[in-house]
Amino acid sequence: MDKNRKAGMRKPLIGTLLLALFVGLGSGCATNPVTGKNELTLVSESQEMAIGKKNYGPYRQAQGGDYVIEPELSRYVQSVGDRLAAVSDRKLPYEFKVINDSTPNAWALPGGKISINRGLLVELETEAELAAVLAHEIVHAAARHSAQAMERGVLLQGALVAAGAALGNSDYRDIGMLGANLGAQLTRQAYSRDAETEADHYGMRYMLRAGYDPAAAVALQQTFVRLAEGKRPNWLAGLFASHPPSQQRVDANRALLAQMGNPGGEVGKARYQRVIARIKRSKPAYEAYGEARTALEKKNLSTALAKVNQAIRIEPDEAAFYSLRGEIHTARDNDAAALKDLDRAVALNPDYFRPLLVRGITRRDAGDMRGANRDLERSVALLPTAAGYLGLGRVAKTNGDRRQAMSYFRKASTSKSHAGRLAGEQLARLDLESSPSRYIKTSLGLSQDGYLVVRVNNGSALAVTGVRVVVGPRSNAGIREQASYRLRRTLAAGGTVRLRTELGPMNTATARRYGAIAADARLAE
């Protein structure tokens, strides 16, 4: 069978196996509680609940953590959400959280786990508009739209086994997010057109049931279309990525409003503006913070420090500002000032992973291994990252615990981030010489005249030398050595070389009985 035909068969086979897996987990027909339609369900309700519960916390961490400065704002959003959830067609353990991120965004995970960003709240005008956003997300959860996406196979093509950051945000690429990948896939993918239509349609009906003026949903979509036409980058990276606006959606909402008879209802503009007064007032602080982070990434430390100081003067209670200033001080080799700011950041928001991660790394550099270990363990418990496990591995290595260090480095090395690559190097330094076959991969082929050829690949992040490859017949005990070959050259990281052996001539059937393994290797200094 030719290679193209094999490749063509492989995808349907994988899809069949995945379908069989989900059917085995529990499938059947069920009535959608929102639309009343009969639908094939491959993801059970218990699985929906488990997915939402497992990913809700880590994904909020990955998006900036909860906004904690104003508990009353969070309670207010929860109260509006509860009011809408009470009239929804599906009773779920709904939760509504405010995320401390300036990107205008809102999202729902399966099981009713919903979040809205601080950056979207400041763009809305009324409580009815907030209700329009939350009602839309409630419908996504109640109508199983994320579960339907999984059933279509959108996520089964790697999301469940993904390693590394699933987010485009540069703040998280370098630290190598190892958790919340499924949550990221669920909330960043675009919903189908039918799902968006349903969320708009039934969201307006939920607003009416809860006593809100559904006309706010029309105004909200008009605002989104205008902002999309303006191509504001933070909007395009936020809500529009998963909820693309269109004039058709505006027209559909307007038609439904007319069908409802323009019923009116509660708008709540004064109340809403009163509640969001602080985040509107502090918006310039978060803009300065964004500029400070960009300057830090560009190694412009003076500008970064000036901008973050400006942010702190405007909003002195924001933990993220002190955390960033701590990072800037670290870059300026001022550990004492860095730790002072990081202590302040942790005190202001003890349940956010980022300041704990940065403080743990800074404490390790300052020689405080106990404090570093405590901070880093707490950080990876909140959000597993390659940077966190890299730091824990370095602490364990300093403490002489080689086995624990290797375990942490191995976890971190699954990420393709910079931290993951550093962890791979550390792991190779500790493990390669004692277990070369984990890193030096071999495969066999035949030359045109029937002699075995060994392909040797250095899968580690470090150059190696003195590689010795053993070739021989396979047995239950492994490979029975018949010949041994030592490379006379250094093999660079990722490098590959081919060795022609003296074993042959033989046919393909005989060659399949042979194997090869890297028996020795040393790190090239």
Euclidean distance between the first and the last CA atom of the chain, given in angstroms as a whole number? 46
- Note whether 98 and 222 are within 8 A (CB): no
> What ranges in 315-368 are assigned the alpha helix state H?
319-331, 335-348, 353-365
3-state SS class at 252? helix
Residue 186: name the closest of 140, 240, 231, 124 by CA. 140
- The one-letter code for the residue type at 302 is S
- The one-letter code for the residue type at 485 is Y
- The one-letter code for the residue type at 135 is A
* 144 DSSP assignment: T
Q: Check if 137 is active-site.
A: yes
- Note whether 181 and 162 are within 8 A (CB): yes
- Note whether 384 and 414 are within 8 A (CB): no
- Coarse DSSP helix, strand, coil percentages of the chain, rounded to the nearest 5 percent: 55, 15, 30
Q: Which residue has the tokens 């690949």?
A: 457
Neighbour-count burial of 5, counting CB atoms closer than 10 A to its CB (0-12 exposed, 13-18 middle, 19+ buried): exposed
Residue 167: name the closest of 242, 62, 58, 52 by CA. 62
The one catalytic residue among 48, 137, 196, 315? 137
- Whole-angstrom Cα distance, residue 60 to residue 106? 11
Query: What does the angle CA 375 – CA 376 – CA 377 come to, to the nearest 5 degrees?
Result: 95
* E strand segments, 55-174: 95-99, 106-109, 113-117
Neighbour-count burial for 66-100, b at 16+ CB within 10 Å, e otherwise:
bbbbbeebbebbbebbebbbeebbbebebbbbbbb
Beta strands across the sheet bearing 496-500: 440-446, 452-458, 496-500
Active site residue ranges: 137
